[in-house]
Amino acid sequence: MKKEIGAGLGLAAVVFLGLQGVSQVVPFLILAAILTMLYLMAQGRLMGGRSFATTGSGSAGSLRPIDFDAIGGQQVAKRELKEALDFLRKSDEAAHLGIRPLKGILLVGPPGTGKTLMARAAASYTQSVFLAASGSQFVEMYAGVGAQRIRHIFNQARRQAEQEGRSSAIIFIDEMEVLGGKRGKHASHLEYDQTLNELLVQMDGIAPSERVRLLVIGATNRPDLLDSALLRPGRFDRTVRVDLPDKEGRRHILEIHAQGKPLAPDVDLDELARETYGFSGAHLESLLNEAAILAMRQGDRQIGGRHLREAVDKVLMGEKLDRRPSEAERRRVAYHETGHAFVSELGRPGSVSTVTLSPRGQALGYMRQTPEDDPYLYTQEELEHQIDVCLGGAVAEELFFGSRSTGAMGDFEQAVGLARRMILAGMSSLGIVSEETLPEDHLHQETVRILKGREGYVREVLTAHRPLMDRAAVELLREEKLPGARVRDLLRPPAAEPLGA
């Protein structure tokens, strides 16, 4: 910053002298202006450009070290990554066996699954200098700036490792799809391609004979956008999947983030792990944090089960809203959500976690399901059941009010997506099909046929349970929330009276 201020003051002085008629300074004026513009362009600050700064760990960095034990729910990914990192740790043994050291490792997975934490743990595991940057930091509108920044981070990694007496350095690049996108798609802006080309050149220049061994770790949730030149052997040699955690992984993550938090005796982390299917590690951390905030807000000294259940709803749907629908809207929403709950519970007993009328986010009410197990495959029956649950709300409105509302739009979108999934999986009357060759009108007609068939089935089921639905909706209107256990009680047939009573 001081350099920029000095350059600006010097240029201002030269301009002032030129305006005073000192003709001898005109050449210096032109030279100073050119040098100042070149300097600012090199720094990427001219016309709104950004300065380039990396974050790191170690004596010169701002990130505290982290180890693999502090990362939960990624046992397979950690094992695979450690195996690749052992080539860096045991370089002499690898050289004896003729193993070529890896130059790059790509971490692929949804947002919030711990890819950045894995890269930081890799640096601790190998005792390496760690430098981190985002892919968007390398791309600028000025020619050559991105390539210069690539060279800068590689040189900085080598220099910092030598200063700290380390034998290795890890360069972590997040949002890899921004920097490494397929070439040729930015015809009007070749700076993208030049920046990627420089990264390829720098990775090719990594040699095992260097005093500082470099390893590039990239992270992305869109590997389909990456240029094929990046993914070939000799650059990013390994791809490590960092997926959403399973039930056991969620339990481990909850244990890690629950440390230091006073949990009440009624908290069951196993049950909480079961109810948070589809949550990433970031979601689970946010869940416990929101529960702690709620406990503090209510003046409690411990985090109880009710706080955690409320936090699950908040993470999924958002904060409770102050808006209050009209009584007619509340009645319609109550029957809509009851329809979802009854179809879900009748199709798969024990699946309903809670039904509520509390407005959150864009929803005036919602029904939350609890998965029985973490599914990896779906049968036709399971997909049909999911469609039934989606259609249950609109069909219930039609049964009790004679019409539908716009509240079912999101449900219909999900149902259409599930029907298309069935078709493309060969679970329809069309048999085995290809999405590329299937005419759009055929796909539409088959989707409509599936949805109409499931709609008829849902209408039969809800009509048969109409009196019970009425009781459940009235109770939901009064209490504003029904736990899944109460829904099951309403659906449970009454016990037969003993003979002779």
Query: Which of the residues are catalytic?
Result: 337
Q: Return the H-helix or E-strand segment holding 21.
A: none
Hey, what are 476's tokens? 């939901």
Quickly list H helices, 24-69: 26-43
Does residue 180 contact residue 200 with C-beta atoms inside 8 Å?
A: no
Q: Which of 403, 401, 369 is nearest to 388 (CA)?
A: 369
3-state secondary structure of 487: helix
Helix ranges, 352-493 (H): 380-401, 409-424, 440-464, 466-479, 484-491
**Would you report the helix, strand and coil content of the chain in percent, each value rounded to 5?**
55, 10, 30
Beta pairing partners, 367:
355
The residue whose two tokens read 């890899």 is: 176
Angle formed by the axes of helices 409-424 and 380-401, nearest 10°: 150
Spatial separation of the C-alpha atoms in residues 276 and 369, rounded to whole Å: 10
Best CA proximity match to 126, nearest among 84, 71, 172, 70: 84
Phi (first) and psi of residue 429, to 5 degrees: -70, -15
Helix (H, G, I), strand (E, B) or coil at 91: helix
Please name the residues in contact with 480: beta carbons below 8 A apart, sequence gap of 6 or more. 356, 357, 358
Determine the Cα–Cα distance for residues 443 and 464; give it in Å rounded to an integer. Answer: 32
Pairing of strands 213-220, 168-174: parallel
Q: How far is CA 406 from each of CA 146, 360, 379, 397, rounded to the nearest angstrom?
A: 48, 17, 30, 11
Q: Are 480 and 365 in contact (CB under 8 A)?
A: no
Task: Report yes or no: 282 and 111 within 8 Å, Cβ to Cβ.
Answer: yes
- Residue 420, amino acid: R
Length of the chain: 501
